Amino acid sequence: MAVTTIELQPGFADKVLAAQSTFRTVMEAMARPGQVMAVDDEVGHPPSMMVGVAAVALTLLDQDTPVWLDDAFASASDVGAWLKFHTGAPIVARPDAASFALVAAPAALPDLSVFALGTAEYPDRSTTLIMQVPSLAAGESFRLRGPGIDGTTALTASLAPADLFARLSINQALFPRGIDVILVDDRSLVAIPRTTRLAASGV
**Site residues (vs other proteins, CB under 8 A):** 15-17, 19-21, 23-24, 26-28, 30-32, 59-62, 64-65, 99, 119-124, 126, 128, 147-150, 175-176, 180, 193-195
Check whether the bond before 147 is cis (ω within 30° of 0): no
As a whole number of Å, the CA-based R_g of the chain is 16
Q: CA angle, corner 188, sides to 91 and 67, nearest 5? A: 10
Left, alpha or beta for 34 (phi > 0: left; psi -120 to 50: alpha)? left
- Residue 46 vs 148, nearer CB to other proteins: 148
d(CA 203, CA 161): 20
- Residue 30 vs 114, nearer CB to other proteins: 30
- Residue 17 vs 38, nearer CB to other proteins: 17
- Residue 71 vs 168, nearer CB to other proteins: 168
- Residue 27 vs 107, nearer CB to other proteins: 27
Closest distance to other proteins from the beta carbon of 64 (Å): 7
Closest distance to other proteins from the beta carbon of 65 (Å): 7
Closest distance to other proteins from the beta carbon of 42 (Å): 16
Beta bridge partners of 144: 153, 198
Closest distance to other proteins from the beta carbon of 2 (Å): 28
d(CA 130, CA 118): 17
Closest distance to other proteins from the beta carbon of 168 (Å): 12
d(CA 70, CA 85): 19
d(CA 110, CA 45): 25
